[in-house]
């Protein structure tokens, strides 16, 4: 078998596989819309907070409920001693400048 024939057959098989993956993904997205809507309504109804990504410190467990001083509550000059603090940025609302009225 020639190398070009093998290449064409392999490329065609991979293209068919990718098309199958795309079709499966589109069917899964369509099927997941109703359960996702129910879960979103439940979250709104129960007023649930953010997803807990880290379990180390309160400012990494619930980033939307923190302020800039929370990581330094033990001492103003203390260093970050939780690894997740280096992975998580402060929430966007803490970095915005409030304009004076």
Closest CA to 54 of 62, 66, 65: 62
Percent of residues, the chain, with pLDDT higher than 70? 60
Is a pLDDT exceeding 90 seen at residue 12? yes
Question: Which two three-digit tokens encode residue 66?
Answer: 């923190």
91: phi then psi, degrees, rounded to nearest 5: -60, 155
- Output the pTM of the full model: 0.39
Is a pLDDT exceeding 60 seen at residue 101? no
pLDDT digits (tens, 9 = 90+) for 27-72: 998 888 888 899 889 888 988 776 777 777 766 766 666 666 666 6
Is a pLDDT exceeding 70 seen at residue 84? yes
Q: Is 44 exposed, middle or buried (0-12, 13-18, 19+ CB in 10 A)?
A: exposed
For residue 50, the SS3 value is coil
Question: Which two three-digit tokens encode residue 65?
Answer: 């409920």
């Amino acid at each position: 078998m020639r190398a070009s024939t093998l290449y064409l057959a392999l490329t065609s098989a991979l293209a068919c596989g990718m098309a199958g993956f795309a079709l499966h993904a589109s069917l899964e997205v369509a099927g997941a819309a109703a359960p996702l809507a129910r879960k979103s309504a439940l979250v709104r109804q129960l007023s649930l907070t953010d997803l807990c990504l880290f379990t180390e410190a309160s400012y990494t467990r619930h980033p939307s409920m923190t302020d800039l001083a929370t990581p330094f509550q033990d001492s103003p000059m203390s260093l970050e001693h939780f690894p997740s603090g280096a992975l998580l940025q402060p929430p966007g609302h803490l970095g915005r400048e409030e304009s004076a009225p």
